[in-house]
Structure 1
Amino acid sequence: MISNWNSEHAWTYEIDPILEALFRYIDSLSLPETPYVTGRPPVSKKSLLKCFFLKTYFSIDSLRKLVRILHRFRCFQRACGLGEVPHLSTFSRAAKWFREQGFPVFHAQLLKDLEVRYPQIVLIDSTALRSSLYDSQAKWGVSTRYHWFKGYKLHLCTTAEGIILSHVLTTANRNDAAVAPELLVSLKQWDIEFVLGDAAYDSEKVRQTAEQSGILFISPINRRNSEERKDAYGRVLPVFLKTRFGQWLFGLRREIERVFNELKSDGLEQPRWYGFHRYVLHVLCCILMHNFEFLL
């Protein structure tokens, strides 16, 4: 996209209003800075964070290419608050910091500003993210849309309004029910009554994990398990889902499907990319940008 621009166009480029609002929000955050001891003065983490969102917004496939674009287009340097373009190694260290420490701080503050306190109903699901066939870290998996594909899976928990509460990115071969307990544990800080999942989450372990957090987990009976289901859950749930309340409640699951559609239309899936950490950085920025739009 950017490689076709000329320098004259870059100097007159006006940043997208949503991206501009996001950058102002980043300036308002309280992020710990690395103290200056020796060597060159450190680059502001807020400026580096803006660069990562710029990378995601334009689907720039590598940090190396991001550095080249920042050198070429001075308007992007100014927008990110950079006096000069940092070295590639600086971006690499900052990306690791963001994945491990920066994202949790940013995400928690964003949910606080969105006043997400009592999400009584939470939705859980996953979506396939294809990657390059040459990606050595990706795995083969099955999805209803792509059938067999190579890549990763993004597992999300969202509110009924579409705000993303928690996520896990795995390789494509991971089963949804195996990842669900990790997502459910992350929901303990909220007073949640129901978690709604599809038949892929029909697992006793998933329901037990939810019960330990005081959550009622509801999912349809998986047809592969239907013949051997003689427990109370297997007898009661099909009847409950036929009631008016059950149909309304489970109909809310359409919202998480809409969230996945929005994320993918905004560039979440990158079939030509390779590398787990590269995909993680992109996914984290996509999640934050999605939630940030609820503030506007």
Structure 2
Amino acid sequence: ALRSSLYDSEARYGKGTRLGRYKGYKLHCTACVCDSILPLSFSITTANVYDNQVQGLLYELKTYNPFIVLADAAYDDAQWFKVSKTLEYNLLTDVNMRKANSIESFKDESRYKNALFMQSPIGKNLYKNRLKIEQLFSILKGLYNLENPRLYGQKRYERHVKWVLLSYIIDEFNKVNSKISSRKYPWNL
């Protein structure tokens, strides 16, 4: 959630899990989870856009040829599974029940298979890697002030996010070169 100024005419109201109702934008980001967490692509939408409507991120990922794509429950959508299958990805999302009583009542076969796999020990272990993506958002919001600039306009937010991501990638590069394993860089103390 990227809150904007209340007077931003381009921003829309949306609902976030932590902020509740807010006016602003959303950052949708794909990242590589390996030794370091590296953002691969991102999209900024107004806050009223549902997460599962940003399927362009899946197409942008094709360049990197991932084996598995992990996503939270907001992306548990039949269309996302269809696009993932077309692009030959394995999409693993947390289960979004959407007023269903049980996973047996899911009408889409892909969502049902995903829910079954998420209950298996292998699925649970794989999905734990998604927590690292949450760490990325936490770092960007905390160390890089991603969340609080209160800008006007979506283009300004895009520019701000690009600078933040560039700074983060440069810091990660410096961290690897300097063999630093902590988040406490000398220049951040």
Q: Which TM class, normalised by the smaller chain length?
A: 0.7 to 0.9
Q: Which has the higher strand share?
A: 2
Secondary structure of 1:155's match? strand
- Partner of 2:10 in structure 1? 137
- The number of aligned residues is 168
Q: What SS is found at the alignment partner of 2:162? A: helix
Residue equivalent to 1:36: none
2 CA distance for matches of 1:136 and 1:241?
41
**3-state SS of the aligned residue for 2:41?**
strand
Aligned to 1:213: 87
| Equivalent position to 2:29, from 156, 174, 197 | 156
Q: Distance in 2 between matches of 1:225 and 1:194?
A: 27
TM-score normalised over the length of structure 1: 0.54
Structure 1 segment 177-196 matched on structure 2, within 5 A: 177-179=52-54, 181-196=55-70
Q: Aligned to 2:157, which of 279, 282, 291?
A: 279
- After superposition, the Cα gap between the structure-2 partners of 1:144 and 1:289, relative to the gap in structure 1 and judged at 3 Å, is same
The one-letter code sitting in structure 2 at the alignment partner of 1:211 is: K
Alignment of 1:80-229 (within 5 A): 128-161=1-34, 162-179=37-54, 181-224=55-98, 226-227=100-101, 228-229=105-106
Query: Equivalents in 2 of 1:135, 1:231: separation in Å?
Result: 39
TM-score, normalization by structure 2: 0.83
Q: Which runs of 5+ in 1 are unaligned?
A: 1-127
- Measured in 2, the distance between the counterparts of 1:231 and 1:280 equals 35
Cα root mean square deviation, aligned: 1.6
The one of 109, 114, 118 equivalent to 1:241 is 118
**Hey, which bits of structure 1, 4+ residues long, moved more than 4 A?**
none
Aligned to 1:133, the other structure's residue is in SS state coil
Give the Cα–Cα distance (whole angstroms) in 1 for the partners of residues 138 and 40 of structure 2: 17
Q: CA deviation at 1:284?
A: 0.6
User: Higher Cα Rg: structure 1 or 2?
Assistant: 1
- Residue 120 of structure 1 corresponds to which residue in structure 2? none
1:247–1:277 Cα change, 3 Å:
same
Aligned match of 1:253: 130
Query: Which one of the candidate residues 282, 288, 296 is aligned to 2:166?
Result: 288
SS of equivalent residue, structure 1 residue 268? coil
CA deviations on 1:160-182 (whole Å, 9 max, x unpaired) are 13100000011111110001x10
Q: 2:173 is matched by which residue type in structure 1?
A: L
Q: Write 1 or 2 for the structure with the bigger share of helix.
A: 1
* Distance (Å, rounded) in 2 between the aligned partners of 1:249 and 1:190: 19
